[in-house]
Structure 1
Amino acid sequence: MEFQSIERAPEAFQQPIAEEDITAICRRVFGAHVQVSSAVELGAGMYNNTYRVQVSGQEQPVVLRVAPPAAKQFRSERELMRNEYATVPWLTSIASLMPQVVAADWSHEVIDRDYLVQTLLDGVPAPDHLGSYPRTTWPHFFRQLGEIARQVHAIRGPRFGPVAGPGYATWAQALQASFADIAADVDSVGLDAADLRTIAALVGERSVVFDEVRVPRMLAGDLWTVNVMLDAHAAEPTITGVFDLDRTWWGDPAADWTMHMALAKPGTERDAFWDSYGPLERSAEASLRAFVYQARHIGAIRLERHRLGNAEGVAGTYDDMARVQASLG
């Protein structure tokens, strides 16, 4: 087997699996006698370990995604792969853009980690290809992203919270639970979570504002350029695939990471996102909710920066949160 694994420090969050583990997984999924001719680890993601694998008898390579060991997962990121798997039946409106699941294994009988085997999407990762186009064509890309987000947000769910559960009867309850998990994770790595708990308390005090959101809708959780594939040869940047929707949950579409990113650089090509998505609500209540959603994103960013060893970035999240709190009064 041609085996290529990314070398990482022993203390790094992401840790590869062994060559023999990949063989064992492929024989569990494709049959006891298959041969693996190549397994190449892909380095774009920062959570799961992902490999492009060529197996005998399979015309196309497959993608093997391996979750972090359970002991390394934060409470707020628990069993994300299982959450993605539970999401697939809800996403038929964008099924043509998504990889198909070949196999999912939570048994830990082969390796002591969850894993998914999926089809390989056509195209080129957007971060590697978008920059090859003139910036005058970029609005075309962001309009497509807005349309995909609109389709995802149109999906109604049975309750609030992560797609795989736990579920909550109200949006305020789901938000408070999310803040509680993020704050507990921040505590667990020795950082101060007081600002997160202050925001969570505000959600409880102003629950009537958050519970104006009565219909749980699908939030993609992590849909942006890093999780999109582009046609390699199209004259304009054309989306051919969407992947890694493992942070999905049911709630207010305005709380989605996609919306946070679309709003992040006004006056740029990103404004074209709203051409296809449509306008956001501009009421005082929506503004209050938006600041709280921003605080939740900052808490998640704090954890990710800590995981990546970015101490300066972690410190910056406290300044960002202070600005949000000032806006909330």
Structure 2
Amino acid sequence: MKYQPIDRAPGAFQQAVPPQAIEEMCRRAFGPGTEVLAAVELGGGMYNSTYRLEFADGRQTVLRVAPEPDRQFRSERALMRNEYATVPYLAPVAHLVPRVLAADFTHQVLGRDHLFQTFLDGLPAPQGLPLHPRPAWRGFYAQLGTVAREIHGVRGPWFGTVAGPGHRTWSEAVLAGLTDTAADLADTGTPFDDVEELIALAGRHRAVLDRITEPRLLHGDLWNINLMIAPDSPAPVITGVLDCDRAHWGDPEADWTIFMAARRPGTERDAFWDTWGPLAADPEAAWRRLLYTARHLAAVRLESVRLADPEQAAATVDDLRALLDRLARGVR
């Protein structure tokens, strides 16, 4: 088997999967006679280890392998199992989502969760979009608005991660997630006092959060890096939606997609709102969005620690402090 891992530092978060383990995973999933010709590690993702596999019968498959359990933050625990539980709920956009061919959570081969998915043709959007003139990007963001609206239209049984545990109210889910993030930051020796302030503010304004009474599906990480586009189209066309491992039930305006779409007003991103629809205009919704932005910044800080990016982690401090000051004034 041709084995092509990405060269990483010994202490990097993502750890290569030995070739012998890949071959054994394939035999368990597809039969003892399965012959793997090549395993090429794919870049782009920052959590799981991902390989494009080529088999002797001509098939191509994607293998994704989760980090070892003891390397996972409590706020990111068992993300692959959450993705596995989420796929059936992505039925409105199923034609864009890779199919799961097999999954193995036994840890008998390597001690790490792994699954196999169909290989999607196309270019990652960060690579494909620059091949098109900027005015054409509006069509891309309008398509993204449609995809997000379809996902957000799915109703759920509780608040919190799709795989559970579920929470009875939205405030309980938000507070549980923030508490885990604060504990993870504490474990890594990263400042988290401002996150504790955020938890206290959210607790004092539970009633504002609990105006959200109907759990909707949130992808959790739906943005350019997790989208594929057609390679030879005269305009950017979305052909794939990847990595729903952070999916949860909650307020659609809390999704990462909404945070990113709103970051650069006056650009081609504005086309997102043409198809997704307008944001809620009442003061309580505006306060919730500030809280959601602060929550995203806390998550970015934690991810920066995992990626050994202290500059990005430090950049969240002033922004989060400014948001805390605005949140403390309450609903206006």
TM-score (norm 1): 0.98
State how far apart, in whole Å, the 1-side matches of 2:149 and 2:312 are.
31
State how far apart, in whole Å, the 2-side matches of 1:322 and 1:7 are.
38
Does the CA-based 8 Å contact 2:201-2:327 persist in structure 1? no
Aligned residue for 1:223? 222
Q: Secondary structure at the match of 1:89?
A: helix
Aligned residue for 1:44? 44
Aligned partner letter, 1:327? R
State how far apart, in whole Å, the 1-side matches of 2:28 and 2:166 are.
33
Aligned partner letter, 1:240? T
What is the Cα deviation at residue 50 of structure 1? Answer: 0.3
State how far apart, in whole Å, the 1-side matches of 2:163 and 2:28 are.
25
What is the Cα deviation at residue 2 of structure 1? Answer: 1.1
Compute the RMSD of aligned alpha carbons. 0.8
Correspondence list, 1:12-91, <5 A: 12-57=12-57, 59-91=58-90
Does the CA-based 8 Å contact 2:82-2:247 persist in structure 1? yes
Aligned length: 328
What is the Cα deviation at residue 30 of structure 1? Answer: 1.0
State how far apart, in whole Å, the 2-side matches of 1:56 and 1:105 are.
22
What is the Cα deviation at residue 326 of structure 1? Answer: 1.6
1:148 equivalenced with 2:147 (yes/no): yes
Q: Secondary structure at the match of 2:127?
A: helix
Q: Secondary structure at the match of 1:91?
A: helix
Correspondence list, 1:1-329, <5 A: 1-57=1-57, 59-329=58-328
Aligned partner letter, 1:291? L
Q: Secondary structure at the match of 2:212?
A: coil
State how far apart, in whole Å, the 1-side matches of 2:155 and 2:34 are.
42
> Which stretches of structure 1, 4 residues or more, deviate above 4 A after TM superposition?
none
Does the CA-based 8 Å contact 2:298-2:316 persist in structure 1? yes
State how far apart, in whole Å, the 2-side matches of 1:179 and 1:252 are.
15
Does the CA-based 8 Å contact 1:231-1:240 persist in structure 2? yes
Structure 2: gaps of 5 or more residues: none
Q: Secondary structure at the match of 1:266?
A: coil
State how far apart, in whole Å, the 1-side matches of 2:31 and 2:122 are.
29
Structure 1: gaps of 5 or more residues: none
Q: Secondary structure at the match of 1:226?
A: helix
Aligned partner letter, 1:174? A
Identity of aligned residues (%): 51
Q: Deviations over 1:211-253 (max 9, x none)?
A: 0000000011000000111111111100011111110000000
What is the Cα deviation at residue 60 of structure 1? Answer: 2.8
What is the Cα deviation at residue 11 of structure 1? Answer: 1.0
Q: Secondary structure at the match of 1:260?
A: helix
Does the CA-based 8 Å contact 1:3-1:40 persist in structure 2? yes
State how far apart, in whole Å, the 1-side matches of 2:198 and 2:254 are.
15
Q: Secondary structure at the match of 1:229?
A: strand
What is the Cα deviation at residue 67 of structure 1? Answer: 0.2
Does the CA-based 8 Å contact 1:186-1:303 persist in structure 2? yes
Does the CA-based 8 Å contact 1:213-1:252 persist in structure 2? yes
